[in-house]
Amino acid sequence: MMELCRILVLYASQTGNAHDVAERIGREALRRHYHPVVLSMNCYHPHQLPNENMVVFVTSTTGQGDPPDTFKGFWKLMLQRSLTNKWLEGVQYGLFGLGDSGYQKYNIVAKKLDRRLLDLGAKHIVPKGLGDDQHPLGYEAALDPWLVSLWLAFREHIPLPSGLSDAETEDTGRNQLDPPKYRILYHPNDCSRLNGASADFHINLRDVWDEHEKACRMVESASGPLPFTLVSGGESYGHVQHQPIFSQVLRNVRLTEEDHEQDVRHVEFDLRGSGVQYSPGDVIGMMPIQNAKAVEDFLKRCDLDPDAFVSVEATGTFFPPTRGNNVNIGEISLVRIRAFVEFVMDVDSASPRRYLFEVMSHFAKAEHEKERLQYFSSPEGRDDLYRYNQRERRTFLEVLQDFPSVQLPLEWLLQLAPRLQPRYFSISSSLKLHPNEAHITVAVVSWNTPYKRKKLGLCSSWLSRLEPKQDVIPIWMTRGTFKQPPASVPLILVGPGTGCAPFRAFVEERVAIAATEPVAPVLVFFGCRKQAKDFLYKDFWVSCTKGNDIMSDKMGGGFVVAFSRDQPHKIYVQHKILEESEKTWRLLSAGGSVFVAGSANKMPEDVALAFKDVVLKEKKCSEDSAALFIKQLERLGRYNVEVWS
């Protein structure tokens, strides 16, 4: 049997995009007669890298320059001081990063990895590629040409084995169906009693979550080798996704006026009996529940028996089956098809990838549908596909409904459906003021597509419907981007809209501490559209400015609001920062820390410029010195930003 050249593809993904890119590279490598091995970085020990010849790295950057969780252990080992500048001599690599230029530290994780690989002696086979979510076509606008360069470079270094041809590789790839990555095994219903699988569907919430976990873990184990490092011990219930607490909704109230265009919710969760602790800056995680009608429509469209029991195995397309990939039927609890659709496959929210259209073209029975799907999956149809799919935010279910002659097998449905992702919300309360409770502030996402189709955010619309004192949902707490400094440090908090959520927690914590010891002043800049419509938590903010409270003028603090639509010209938080430059500079000079939260559009950049102008004016220095001052604040952890798209 002919031995093909091995190409290792290592990825670090937070939401699944980098994983999708890595698997695309693996598929294209197979079509070009290479032997791809596609692994998550937490499943590969970097000390094996010197033994590799060709490696492709794919990594995303999340938030304000944060690495994916699966990158952290790999990166820590790559930074070991014992590694020399010749350690990776002989290793050639390509690197593609996924980021968002709307954030200040655009693609910083990929850039750092690239520098480190070069420092350790590895050599570029092609210059690094950087995908930008801000591009109209998303990261694929940079990925497509980068892959063309990658394969040309690989072929220069790795000649084809005798008897093989590179001719029309792309066309051939699209005309031949790739092997699926999963194998689905159907089991009779009497097998459901193995290891406690119940024949009664959804007995209670814990059974629902158990079935959710079984479905997720089964797919994870069939998607690649197990991580070489597992989650460290000592993790308690309520602090990791796999060990949530089941919390009752205590309150769910609308903060904005009924006639206001934006529905913003204040939701409170009961933590009694859980023992869960959290700090200001932490976040709550949850897995949203998909619309029941959409799930039923999907099952019907795909002709799936929701109560059929199945197990999922790896086919070994990109890696050899290993421990956890193929297991004996007696060692597992089987899972209903309904559980995969409800808890693993995002059928009614996220838009599918381009590869779906390529695979669907192989199953289309109607000739006009086959032609359209082939066009969408070709380079010539990329722009039209973007207009049809991403711009319109068509869901997996909607795409399948638009091509009724296509009937995909379950293994392909499971592979091609976007993964249902957990959602995270900043905690907007302090345990010191609200023992046994955690609060969040949620803007219900609603918008119209270019073709005027109304779309709703999956998680926010679900949260808005939860009934107080009735609904119970699984939640968990985890560390957020922000960490509140000691009470002796002055705070400058900038949070327009729901960006104020973590700062409500910051201020509540300071209010509680101030009851027993001195605290430094707090200056809050809040922004909304209209004072009468969306002034979130107005009574709370105003109460903290009275007398000797921490946001009072007497204590050196303050609460400043920008109502952007209450006058002919728009006023934003950055304008108010400049108006309060003297007080802002006084707190900065006293060692204060700045925290900024909110929309990722222009706000963070405009706010940073406003702070630079404050330094310029009050310190009476040059522009370069003012810019350097802000950068030093960032390096010292005194200028912190958390934004979202």
pLDDT higher than threshold 60 for residue 551: yes
Considering the four listed CATH numbers 3.40.50.360, 3.90.330.10, 3.50.7.10, 2.115.10.20, the one that applies to the domain covering 6-175 is 3.40.50.360
Predicted confidence band of residue 324 (pLDDT cuts 50, 70, 90):
very low
pLDDT higher than threshold 50 for residue 233: no
Q: Say what the alpha-carbon torsion angle 89, 94, 96, 101 is, to the nearest 10 degrees.
A: 70
Q: What pLDDT is attached to residue 321?
A: 52
| Distance of alpha carbon 617 from alpha carbon 471, whole angstroms | 53
Q: What pLDDT is attached to residue 213?
A: 86
Q: What pLDDT is attached to residue 199?
A: 43
| Distance of alpha carbon 467 from alpha carbon 320, whole angstroms | 47
Q: What pLDDT is attached to residue 230?
A: 35
Predicted confidence band of residue 228 (pLDDT cuts 50, 70, 90):
low
| Distance of alpha carbon 524 from alpha carbon 560, whole angstroms | 6
pLDDT higher than threshold 70 for residue 51: yes
| Distance of alpha carbon 285 from alpha carbon 474, whole angstroms | 9
- Average pLDDT of the segment spanning 29-56: 92
| Distance of alpha carbon 491 from alpha carbon 589, whole angstroms | 12
pLDDT higher than threshold 80 for residue 412: yes
Q: Which helix (H) or strand (E) holds 145?
A: helix 140-157
Q: 171-202 pLDDT, tens per residue?
A: 555 678 998 999 999 998 755 544 444 444 43
How close are the terminal C-alpha atoms of the chain, in Å?
Answer: 50
Q: What pLDDT is attached to residue 164?
A: 67
6-175 and 491-644: same fold?
Answer: yes
| Distance of alpha carbon 587 from alpha carbon 30, whole angstroms | 59
- Average per-residue pLDDT for the chain: 89
Q: Say what the alpha-carbon torsion angle 77, 78, 84, 88 is, to the nearest 10 degrees.
A: 120
Q: What pLDDT is attached to residue 469?
A: 95
429 in Cβ contact with 437 (< 8 Å): yes
* Cross-strand partners of 77: none
Q: Which helix (H) or strand (E) holds 478?
A: strand 472-478
pLDDT higher than threshold 80 for residue 144: yes
| Distance of alpha carbon 227 from alpha carbon 265, whole angstroms | 38
574 in Cβ contact with 614 (< 8 Å): no
- Average pLDDT of the segment spanning 322-349: 74
- Average pLDDT of the segment spanning 606-625: 94
* Token output for 631: 């950068």
- For the chain, the structural domain boundaries read 6-175, 354-416, 491-644
Predicted confidence band of residue 239 (pLDDT cuts 50, 70, 90):
low
Best mean pLDDT range from 25-39, 63-77, 193-207, 421-435: 421-435
Q: How many helices (H) and strands (E) does the chain have?
A: 20, 22
Shortest CA distance to 645 belongs to which of 600, 606, 603, 607?
Answer: 600
Q: What pLDDT is attached to residue 190?
A: 57
pLDDT higher than threshold 50 for residue 231: no
Q: What pLDDT is attached to residue 218?
A: 87
**pTM, two decimal places:** 0.89
Considering the four listed CATH numbers 3.40.1190.20, 1.10.3720.10, 3.90.800.10, 3.40.50.80, the one that applies to the domain covering 491-644 is 3.40.50.80
Q: What pLDDT is attached to residue 362?
A: 97
Which has more confidence, 15 or 67?
67
Q: What pLDDT is attached to residue 173?
A: 53
Q: What pLDDT is attached to residue 134?
A: 85
* Token output for 535: 């002034």
* Token output for 596: 């900024």
Q: 464-514 pLDDT, tens per residue?
A: 999 999 999 999 999 888 999 999 999 999 999 999 999 999 999 999 999
6 in Cβ contact with 53 (< 8 Å): yes
* pLDDT-wise least confident of 96-105, 220-229, 596-605: 220-229
Q: Percent of the chain at pLDDT above 90?
A: 73
Q: 365-401 pLDDT, tens per residue?
A: 999 999 999 999 998 998 999 999 999 999 999 999 9
Q: What pLDDT is attached to residue 171?
A: 52
Alpha helices in 158-204 (DSSP H): 169-175
pLDDT higher than threshold 60 for residue 114: yes
* pLDDT-wise least confident of 74-88, 94-108, 393-407: 94-108
- Average pLDDT of the segment spanning 47-56: 94
Predicted confidence band of residue 326 (pLDDT cuts 50, 70, 90):
very low
Q: What pLDDT is attached to residue 327?
A: 44
64 in Cβ contact with 103 (< 8 Å): yes
CATH topology of domain 354-416: NADPH-cytochrome p450 Reductase; Chain A, domain 3 (1.20.990)
Which has more confidence, 519 or 69?
519
- Average pLDDT of the segment spanning 254-269: 96
Q: What pLDDT is attached to residue 137?
A: 83
Q: 122-142 pLDDT, tens per residue?
A: 999 999 999 998 888 889 899
Q: 281-316 pLDDT, tens per residue?
A: 999 999 999 999 999 999 999 999 999 999 999 887
